Every structure is written in structure tokens, then in C-alpha cells.
Amino acid sequence: MRLIHFVHNKKEYWGILEEKNIKIIKDEPFKNIKPLSKKIPVSDIKFLPPAKATKIILIGLNYKNHARELNMPLPQEPLIFLKPPTSLIGHKDAIIYPNSVSQLDYEAELAIVIKKEGKNIKPKDTSKYILGYTCLNDVTARDIQRKDGQWTRAKSFDTFCPLGPWLETQVSPQNLNIRSYLNGKLRQDSSTSEFIFPPAYLVPFISRVMTLYPGDVISTGTPFGVGPMKRGDIIEVDIEKVAKLTNYIK
């Protein structure tokens, strides 16, 4: 099932994507998935991020090939950091290149959206807390990251967290091809089989630190091949069996 969050005629909806149409659901999918009879063409909507995040939790250095690329040892525990919800944008929205930034990088990632409140989640129960998976671009001001020596400012500008286009609820996160394309040219090409810490480890680990709420986002890290973008570029995050997220740089 593909759950989609969107605007139609200035009104916000959630629905189920069915090829070229969307079947509206009665409530937010964190509460109940009850389809209504009303359908809306996909061509008539504006995509919204498929989440209602109180927080966006991301994982640093979670692909073995990315660690090798950086010549860094594999982490013993997940390295977690945050982006604010104000950084979220949807499919086809513009990533704004700040005037104060000299290097803006893409990072293709598989993201999890949480289904229900959870604290101290047991690994065997992880799937009960996941509503679905989607694409995320962890946009990063690399020059600021190097200058600050920590990551908050570099990753927190408005528009620095494209998410979508929808949630895929019926996919295994293991062994999915994950790719990014810059202006149609392949830049990242890897697989989630390279995860150091899979979702079944990350969700319980994070829930021991902070309570997870419905609509929160956990992003699972980026593989090797990150690189810079410039104004006018088109960046795509393409994850097998999940979706393709497209944004342009403004």
C-alpha cells in the first residue's frame, strides 16, 4: 500500500495511491486507514511530506561502503542527530540554496515513518511501530559542517529535508537498491544490504533515548558517493520498491 499526503483545492488530505488516482482515507493513517469513495487524480495534487514529524532523527555513517570511502572505522553504536521539522519539503518542491553556503551536498537515504507512540521498544516489536518507508534527501551545507565541527546548522536550513513522494507500507528494508541521480546522471549506487545498523536495530535504540511519536521520521544514513549540487540542478533519490523523490535546487 502506498500512503500519500497532499493538498487538493487548498485542502489537506491523506490517501491511498492507486495508479493515477488517490483514494481518500477518513483519518490520518497513524490513527486508522479507512478508505472513502472519493478519488482524486494524482495530476491535480501538490505533494506534501508523508509524515507529521515532531522530530527527524538521522543516522550518520550507517553504510559499510560509506565508512570505507571516508577511511573511517565502523561505529560501535548508531550515531544519531536531528533535523527540525521546519526543514521538511515534499516531492517536486524546491531546495533553497542559501547565500551563506558555498557547498550544498545531496545524501540519498531510506527513511522510516513511525506509526504509533513508542518508548523502550523491543527489537521483536519493531515492525508494529513502522507505518512505512520513503525516500529522504539529507541536504547538507558541507562547508558549514566542516567549519562548525558539528552538524546541526549545516543540516537544519529550511528545505534541507525533502521527503516522499509517499510511504510504502509493504516492503522489506533489506537489500533494496538505493541510488541518486544529479541532472539524470547516476551519483550514488548502493544497497541497503550495506547497512551497519538495520531498522530493526535503529528503532529500538532510538526509542531508549527519546519517545517516538506517530509521524516521526527516522532516516537510515547515506551510502558512498555524496556530492555537491548547484542552483538549477535536479536531484533524484530512487529506492527500489519504494519510490523516486525529485527536487530542484533554487
Find residue 235's DSSP bridge partners. Answer: 182, 247
Average pLDDT, integer, range 78-95:
98
Residues 186 and 245 in one domain: yes
Q: What is the pLDDT of residues 160-182, one digit of tens each?
A: 999 999 999 999 999 999 999 99
Percent of the chain's residues with pLDDT above 70: 100
β pairing state of 234-239 and 88-89: unpaired
Q: H-helix or E-strand containing 200? A: helix 199-207
Tally the domains of the chain. 2
Residues 112 and 216 in one domain: yes
Q: What is the pLDDT of residues 99-157, one digit of tens each?
A: 999 999 999 999 999 999 999 999 999 999 999 999 999 999 999 999 998 899 999 99
> pLDDT category, 6, cuts 50, 70, 90?
very high
First-to-last alpha carbon distance for the chain, in angstroms, is 33
Residues 18 and 134 in one domain: no
The one-letter amino acid at 47? F
Residue 9 lies in domain: 2-47
CATH number of domain containing 166: 3.90.850.10
Average pLDDT, integer, range 222-237:
97
Whether 32 has a pLDDT exceeding 90, the answer reads: no
Residues 106 and 154 in one domain: yes
Rounded to two decimals, what is the model's pTM? Answer: 0.96
pLDDT of residue 67: 73
Residues 215 and 233 in one domain: yes
pLDDT of residue 122: 96
Residues 29 and 128 in one domain: no
List Cβ neighbours of 171 (8 Å cut-off, separation of 6 or more): 133, 241, 242
Find residue 221's DSSP bridge partners. Answer: none
CATH number of domain containing 37: 2.30.30
Residues 87 and 137 in one domain: yes
Cα 13 to Cα 59, 99, 156, 171: the distances in Å are: 30, 34, 27, 23
Residues 88 and 19 in one domain: no
The DSSP secondary structure of 14-66, one letter per residue, reads EEEEETTEEEEESS-TTT---EEEEEEEGGG-EE--S---S-EEEEES-BHHH
d(CA 128, CA 68) in angstroms, rounded, equals: 33
pLDDT of residue 230: 98
Whether 72 has a pLDDT exceeding 80, the answer reads: no
Nearest in space to 182 (alpha carbons), one of 135, 222, 233: 233
Residue 12: strand, helix, or coil: strand
Last residue in a domain, options 12, 29, 47: 47
Cα 90 to Cα 86, 123, 163, 213, 245: the distances in Å are: 12, 30, 5, 20, 8
pLDDT of residue 91: 98
Residues 111 and 215 in one domain: yes
Mean pLDDT of the chain: 96
Q: H-helix or E-strand containing 131? A: strand 130-137
Residues 102 and 224 in one domain: yes
C-alpha cell belonging to residue 102 = 558555498
Nearest in space to 177 (alpha carbons), one of 247, 82, 108, 246: 108
